[in-house]
Amino acid sequence: MSETLTLAVTKGRVLKDSLDILAKVGIEPTEDMSSSRKLVFETTRPGFRLMVLRGMDVPTYVEQGVADLGMSGRDVLLEHGGDGYYEPLDLRIGQCQIMVAGLKDEGPLPKRLRIATKFVNTTKRFYAEKGVQVDIIKLYGAMELAPLTGLAHRIVDIVETGNTLKANGLVPIERVEIISTYLIVNKIALKTKHQYITPLIEGLAGVTG
Ligand code: PRP
C-alpha cells in the first residue's frame, strides 16, 4: 500500500480492544503504544498510521479529514452529532449503556430535576422526547458525586459493570442509549481512497462477529 491512511483511536479503556481488532486484520503498531507518550504511531502496514486522541476529539479529526478513519464510542458520536463522516460498522467493543441514575433512597423530589452529565446534548434530547423539563448541569467527571452532594438530583452517565454506581450508593433508573464503539470514515476519504478503505471495512467486518 503506498497511500497514507490515518486511523484515530481513543486512548483509555477501549484502546486495547481497538488494537486487538486491528491485529486481527494484520495491522499492529510498530512500538508499544501504552508505554509511549507519542500521539502518532506507524504500523506493520506501510502507510497506515494510528493517531491516539481523547474520545471526544476523534469525530472532529475524522470530520475535518485529518484522520481518514476513527474508532469512536456511540456516546461520543451522539453527543458530537457531526455529518462529515459515515458510521459503516459497529465494532462491538466498548459495550456499555448511558443511564439515568440516582440515589438509592432519593426521598421526595421536586417536579423539575437537576441532572448532572457530560452528555448535555444527549440528555437534552432524551428529556425533550419525554416532554419532561429538567435543568442540566455540565460536569466533566466524577459524576456520581453530584447526587451525593446535592449538586444534582440525578446523573446521566456511562454504566458498564455498574460497580461505580454501586460503590457510591447510586442505582440505575432508566436507560438512555445502548453504546458500543463504531468505525467512522471521512466522507471524502471514502471516495478518494476507496480502494484502500473499502477492503479495510470488509476486513474489520469479518473479525467483529
Ligand atoms: C465511566 C463512567 C463511570 C464508570 C462506569 O468513567 O463515568 O464513572 O465509567 O463504569 P462501571 O459501571 O463499570 O463502574 P470512565 O472510567 O470511562 O472515565 P471518565 O470519567 O473519564 O469518563
Q: Kindly tell me if the per-residue pLDDT of 3 is higher than 90.
A: no
Q: Mean per-residue pLDDT for 40-51?
A: 96
pLDDT of 82 reads 83
Share of the chain above pLDDT 70, in %: 99
Domains for the chain: give ranges and CATH numbers.
Answer: 5-94+180-208 (3.40.190.10), 96-178 (3.40.190.10)
- Quick one: which H or E segment has residue 171? strand 170-179
Q: Mean per-residue pLDDT for 202-206?
A: 97
pLDDT of 2 reads 53
Digit-coded pLDDT (tens) for 57-85: 999 999 999 999 999 999 999 999 988 99
- Among 32, 64, 34, which residue's Cα sits nearest to residue 184? 64
Q: Is 157 in the pocket of ligand 1 (CB under 6 A)?
A: yes
Closest C-alpha residue for ligand 1 atom 16: 13
From 13, 164, 177, 180, the mutation candidate for ligand 1 (largest count of ligand atoms within 8 A of CB) is: 164
From 160, 165, 180, 181, the mutation candidate for ligand 1 (largest count of ligand atoms within 8 A of CB) is: 160
Digit-coded pLDDT (tens) for 97-110: 999 999 999 989 99
The SS3 assignment for 125 reads: helix
Q: Kindly tell me if the per-residue pLDDT of 1 is higher than 70.
A: no
- Among 51, 96, 52, 100, which residue's Cα sits nearest to residue 74? 96
- Whole-number Å distance between alpha carbons of 115 and 130: 15
Digit-coded pLDDT (tens) for 146-192: 999 999 999 999 999 999 999 999 999 999 999 999 999 999 999 99
Strands (E) across 5-133 are located at 5-10, 40-42, 48-53, 69-73, 85-90, 96-103, 113-117
Q: Is 203 in the pocket of ligand 1 (CB under 6 A)?
A: no
- Whole-number Å distance between alpha carbons of 186 and 104: 43
Mean pLDDT of the chain: 96
Instruction: Count the Cβ atoms, other than its own, within 10 Å of residue 134.
Output: 20
pLDDT of 160 reads 96
Look at the alpha carbons of 163, 165, 170, 175 in this order and tell me if their dihedral is positive or negative: negative
Q: Mean per-residue pLDDT for 36-60?
A: 95
Distance 109 CA to ligand 1 centre (A): 26
